[in-house]
């Protein structure tokens, strides 16, 4: 699985599990799976596959 451009070798896991394994603070982030934003309410039920491309971004204030 590719996460923010870096390949990782994880078994199938849900988005919330991925965030925990990567040590990322879930507050203020958004997650896209294969180019589609995944709602936070679906993180625990969205199972990621080894072939997925994941982007995790942090919201930033400013202009």
DSSP string, 8-27: ----SEEHHHHHHHHT---T
What local confidence, expressed as pLDDT, does residue 59 receive? 78
pLDDT at residue 63 in the model: 60
Task: Delimit the domains of the chain by residue range.
Answer: 2-58
Phi and psi at residue 33, in whole multiples of 5°? -115, 120
| pTM metric for this prediction | 0.88
Q: Tokens 């936070």 belong to which residue?
A: 40
CATH homologous superfamily of domain 2-58? Beta-grasp domain (3.10.20.30)
Which stretches in the chain have pLDDT values below 70? 62-63
């Amino acid at each position: 699985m590719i996460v923010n451009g870096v390949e990782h070798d994880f078994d199938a896991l849900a988005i919330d599990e991925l965030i925990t394994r990567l040590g990322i603070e879930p507050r203020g982030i958004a997650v896209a799976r294969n180019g589609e934003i995944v709602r936070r309410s679906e993180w625990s039920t969205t199972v990621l596959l080894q072939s997925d491309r994941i982007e995790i971004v942090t919201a930033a204030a400013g202009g």
